[in-house]
């Protein structure tokens, strides 16, 4: 036997009063177009750097803005699809606008801000944050045996 779960919002919009509302109004009450997109993130650490992989399909590399201020890395993006004259008329269009902002706290003075790099490929933003060498690592000198 299959069980069908119906949310309270679904029950409310099943009422005849709501049948006359435009679809856009229903989407507003259901949270569409009101909530920001929050991309999934993978964080990894290697010996010399931190890696951030952020899943954001549908964007282009020009849509992204990355800032490092004090010890906070902010990654944000926004894109809009422009309406074109003569294009087909949509009954429903859900993916024309998208934006997000994610922040990451890094240990103060642990990142080499001058060499941070980012690439965007196949819907994944890859950010590499090279670590600064510690004083102990800087003082180590290798001596060759002659």
Task: Give yes or no for a contact between 126 and 119, defined as CB atoms under 8 angstroms apart.
Answer: yes
pLDDT in tens, 23-41: 444 444 444 444 457 889 9
Residues 6+ apart with CB under 8 A from 127: 51, 52, 54, 66, 73, 75, 116, 117, 118
Start and end residues for every CATH 2.60.40.790 domain found in the chain: 38-81+93-134
pLDDT one-digit tens code per residue, 56-67: 988 889 999 999
To the nearest whole percent, how much of the chain has pLDDT over 70? 62
Global pTM?
0.63
**Residue listed under structure tokens 């922040």:** 103
d(C-alpha 101, C-alpha 113), whole Å: 20
Neighbours of 54 (CB within 10 A): 23
Q: Is CATH 2.40.110.10 the classification given to domain 38-81+93-134?
A: no
Is the CB of residue 120 less than 8 Å from the CB of residue 51? no
């Amino acid at each position: 036997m299959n069980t069908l779960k119906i949310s309270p919002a679904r029950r409310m919009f099943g009422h005849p009063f709501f049948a006359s509302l435009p679809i856009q109004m229903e989407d507003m009450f259901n949270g569409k177009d009101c909530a920001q997109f929050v991309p999934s993130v993978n964080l990894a650490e290697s010996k010399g750097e931190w890696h951030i992989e952020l899943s954001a399909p549908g964007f282009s590399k020009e849509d992204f803005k990355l800032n490092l201020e004090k010890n906070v890395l902010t990654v944000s993006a926004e894109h809009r699809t422009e309406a074109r004259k003569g294009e087909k008329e949509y009954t429903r269009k859900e993916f024309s606008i998208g934006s997000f902002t994610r922040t990451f706290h890094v240990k103060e003075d642990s990142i080499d801000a001058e060499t941070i790099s980012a690439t965007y490929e196949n819907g994944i933003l890859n950010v590499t944050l090279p670590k600064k060498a510690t004083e102990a690592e800087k003082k180590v000198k290798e001596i060759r045996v002659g």
